[in-house]
Amino acid sequence: MEERHYRILHVGLSLVSDTPEFLELFEQNFSYFRVAEAGTEKLAVRAIFCGEPAALYVGSQVLSLAGVEKPYAYVYHTLINSLCGRWHDFLVLHAGVVVQQGQAVVLAGPPAVGKTTMVERLLAHGCRFFSDDFCPIERKRKLVHPFPRSLWVCRNDKSGDMTQATFHGNKTAMPVTQVATSVGGAPCPLRCIICLDPGAREARDILEVNLRPGGQAFVEEVRQIADVTLQNPRPDCWHIAYPRELTGRLRSLCQQHQQHIWHAYRAYPVCRDFNREPMLTRMSGHEAALELLQHVKQEATLDDGSPLPLFMELLEMVAGVACYRLTVGKLETMEKMVLYAH
């Protein structure tokens, strides 16, 4: 058994496991946050993969790993969800972040729209790397904090299979040191928020849901919703295709069955065209807050069933900040637009 300590956004983490491979995979993501001691107030996690019984211990909670097809991914996402639930002082967006002249440039958008690609290109212009996926904004001071995990770039295969060797499907890790000479640093104020827009999108979104044992009731309730189709590519995994207007209903259903869901991932089928001319347009605060509402990582924020309090918080957070919509196109033109946006 080996124990490692981290401090991630003011939350201490003590991670113990009997499997060095899992610890190394976690370290690959979170080495920036490694500390000698996690402190007295910490989240204690034990992941037992080879012992009897195989189980995940998160604080006082015990989750069996028996029958879990992808135990590494199960443990990783359960751990991240537990951390998200403890980041009370932060609002965390699904966005890339670079720092230019001491201010944060936030690149928000759906999966596969090109956030990591843009982050890489901006780093080549001397920007400081903060994150390619997590954008933690401190609620009290409205400062963006660094979250420099490894950059995860798409592989050529499209299998999307979440193997034991990665937590990120058909993506592979690129150490930050390979692409950035300047990493992390002190929290900084927002310079601008740019919402990447792929342009054309499919009429239906896809929700990938990974279930714990006992989650069949969730599947049966989804089956009762008209105009929804389900596929079951793996025993614990369901793909739910649905028209966009059903997003709120499915979100509510996921919250009702959250004890049986260990990972839910919204896929936005996008049609990127990097050959067309991109377009940068100014967004009002209301437009930006409404767009960012889709990219908040902490689903627990919506536990009251209404997105209105979160929308109002986002609206206050973007007040006075330049917000833009950038329709994806030629990368060289896009990077110039981002560099000179203010």
* CA dist list (Å): 133 to 94, 111, 147: 6, 10, 8
User: Is 60 exceeded by the pLDDT of residue 160?
Assistant: no
In what helix (H) or strand (E) does residue 292 lie, and over which residues does it extend?
helix 285-292
Q: Give percent of the chain with pLDDT exceeding 90.
A: 60
The CB-side HSE value for 55 (13 A sphere, CA atoms) comes to 10
Provide φ and ψ at 192, rounded to 5°. Answer: -160, 160
Residues 6 or more apart whose CB falls under 8 angstroms from that of 135 comprise 92, 93, 94, 95, 96, 97, 106, 108, 144, 147
Quote the distance between the C-alpha of residue 309 and its chain's center: 21
Q: What is the mean pLDDT of residues 302-310?
A: 69
Name the residue ranges covered by the structural domains of the chain. 2-84, 90-199+272-339, 204-267
Q: If DSSP codes are grouped into helix, strand and coil, which group holds residue 157?
A: coil
Provide φ and ψ at 184, rounded to 5°. Answer: 70, -150
> In the CATH scheme, what architecture does the domain 204-267 have?
2-Layer Sandwich (3.30)
How many whole angstroms separate alpha carbon 90 and alpha carbon 80?
14
Q: If DSSP codes are grouped into helix, strand and coil, which group holds residue 37?
A: coil
pLDDT per residue as tens digits for the range 238-276: 999 999 888 888 988 988 898 889 888 877 666 778 899
Quote the distance between the C-alpha of residue 323 and its chain's center: 21
The torsion angle over the Cα atoms of residues 107, 333, 117 and 176, rounded to 10 degrees, is -80
Give DSSP secondary structure letters for 124-138: TTTPEEEESSEEEEE
- Alpha-helix residue ranges (DSSP H) falling in 1-159: 20-30, 71-84, 115-123
Cis peptide before 189 (omega within 30 of 0): no
Contact 271, 259 (CB under 8 A): no
CATH 3.30.1380 fits 90-199+272-339, yes or no: no
- Alpha-helix residue ranges (DSSP H) falling in 108-161: 115-123
Q: Are strands 103-108 and 188-197 parallel, antiparallel or unpaired?
A: parallel
* CA dist list (Å): 294 to 43, 102, 325: 28, 27, 14
Question: End-to-end alpha-carbon separation of the chain, Å?
Answer: 50
Number of other residues whose CB lies within 10 A of the CB of residue 33:
20
Query: Sorting pLDDT into bands at 50, 70 and 90, what band is 176?
Result: confident
Asked if 90-199+272-339 and 204-267 have one fold, the answer is no
Q: If DSSP codes are grouped into helix, strand and coil, which group holds residue 230?
A: strand
pLDDT per residue as tens digits for the range 49-97: 998 799 999 989 999 998 888 899 999 999 998 999 899 999 999 999 9
Q: At what angle do helices 308-317 and 285-292 cross, to 10 degrees?
A: 130
pLDDT, residue 38, reads: 85
Contact 14, 59 (CB under 8 A): no
Q: Which range has highest mean pLDDT (65-74, 77-86, 154-163, 280-289)?
A: 280-289
Report if pTM > 0.75: yes
How many whole angstroms separate alpha carbon 314 and alpha carbon 248?
18
Handedness of CA 94, 270, 29, 129 (dihedral sign): negative
Query: Sorting pLDDT into bands at 50, 70 and 90, what band is 216?
Result: very high
Query: Sorting pLDDT into bands at 50, 70 and 90, what band is 159?
Result: very low
Handedness of CA 33, 83, 29, 327 (dihedral sign): negative
